[in-house]
Amino acid sequence: MKYILIDNLLNANEVDDGMFLVKAEVAGDTAEEEATMEFFSEGDMFHIKRHRPDEANAIALTDDWMYYDTENGMLFGYVFK
């Protein structure tokens, strides 16, 4: 599974007008070479910051992105409903 730490996302550098590029981390049995760079818009970042549960420190990049706690391996609600 790939995930992005929310702190890394919120501290990302802008690469284009309102677009940010963040490196995804890998967890579990996911191969390291599957790590990717993901684009986020300023609106995405605002939404994530405003709606994330206190327990979530990452976003799991599954079919539907979900808030994720890397310490406990717990998934929370969907990022974009």
Residue 81 pLDDT grade (very low, low, confident, very high; cuts 50, 70, 90): confident
The pLDDT, as a whole number, for residue 19 is: 92
The pLDDT, as a whole number, for residue 34 is: 67
The pLDDT, as a whole number, for residue 66 is: 94
The amino acid at residue 61 is L
Q: How far is CA 39 from CA 16, 36, 53, 72, in A?
A: 10, 10, 22, 26
Contact between 18 and 41 (Cβ < 8 Å):
yes
Please give the model's pTM, rounded to 2 decimal places: 0.80
- What does the domain layout of the chain look like in residue ranges? 2-78
User: Residues 22-77: pLDDT tens digits?
Assistant: 988 887 666 666 668 888 999 998 999 899 999 999 999 888 899 999 999 899 99
